[in-house]
Amino acid sequence: MPNVREAKGEDLDAVLAIERESFPNPWPAEEFQKHQEGGIFLVYELRGKVLGYLIASEKTSPFRGSFFHLENIAVARNARRQGIATALLADLISIAKEKGILTLLLEVREENLAALTLYKKFGFIEKMSLLGFYSDGDNARLMELQLATEPTGSS
Ligand SMILES: CC(C)(COP(=O)(O)OP(=O)(O)OC[C@H]1O[C@@H](n2cnc3c(N)ncnc32)[C@H](O)[C@@H]1OP(=O)(O)O)[C@@H](O)C(=O)NCCC(=O)NCCS
């Protein structure tokens, strides 16, 4: 995936512009800086322009063991439906497999048809509704993707 790379400090302005046109309650710059220091922060760049980003972090729970939590993903409005989110998610899945992490979790607004369709295409399944999850009172769906273990070689 040649267009997906780790975010750098100089990507922040472009990322913030996409964040602000994508969400009613955008993350502040500090939130992105925090994830750049510890976590997974990928950008999609085409011809020197950042057109999308993804943020995830590794977490652990007694029930699931280690998993990736997808915390943010957005694509510039004028670059949507061109496979950019797909490329970012595919990269995250590759990183997860490299690290032996087989579970991905995320929350998505119930009304967000674009994101719900994208995640279902990847095989995410809805685990439960989270009533009033967002600060504006909107409900979320908790979604989970279980990755298959890679064969360890022929015998
Ligand atoms: C959701 C979002 C990240 C998708 O990014 P994208 O780069 O346009 O997605 P892709 O081009 O990789 O789309 C892959 C598939 O997802 C589905 N999809 C994407 N946008 C869709 C839409 N508006 N309506 C219905 N399905 C959609 C389609 O199945 C699409 O495949 P297709 O184009 O071959 O039909 C983008 O719409 C966005 O930034 N939205 C605002 C931020 C946001 O809601 N983020 C998710 C928070 S949980």
Look at residue 112 and tell me if it is in a domain.
no
pLDDT at 51 (0 to 100): 98
Of residues 116 and 153, more confidently modeled: 116
pLDDT at 1 (0 to 100): 46
Look at residue 86 and tell me if it is in a domain.
yes
The string over 5-28, giving b where at least 16 C-beta atoms fall within 10 Å of a residue's C-beta and e elsewhere, is eebeeebbebbbebbeebeeebbe
Q: Which of 27, 55, 81 to mutate to test the pocket of ligand 1 (most atoms within 8 A of CB)?
A: 81
Quick check: 104 and 93 in contact, CB under 8 A? yes
- List pLDDT tens digits, range 19-60: 999 999 999 999 999 988 889 999 999 999 999 999 999 999
- List pLDDT tens digits, range 90-117: 999 999 999 999 999 999 999 999 999 9
Query: Does residue 50 have its Cβ closer than 6 Å to ligand 1?
Result: no
Report the DSSP beta bridge partners of residue 4: 44
Alpha-helix runs per DSSP H in the chain: 12-22, 29-37, 84-99, 113-122
Look at residue 116 and tell me if it is in a domain.
no
CATH value at residue 86: 3.40.630.30
For the chain, give the number of residues: 155
Q: How many domains does the chain have?
A: 1
pLDDT at 55 (0 to 100): 98
Residue 129 Cα to ligand 1 midpoint, Å, equals: 21
Look at residue 18 and tell me if it is in a domain.
yes
By residue range, what is the domain housing residue 34? 4-106
- List pLDDT tens digits, range 57-81: 999 999 889 999 999 999 999 999 9
Residue 152 Cα to ligand 1 midpoint, Å, equals: 33
Look at residue 134 and tell me if it is in a domain.
no
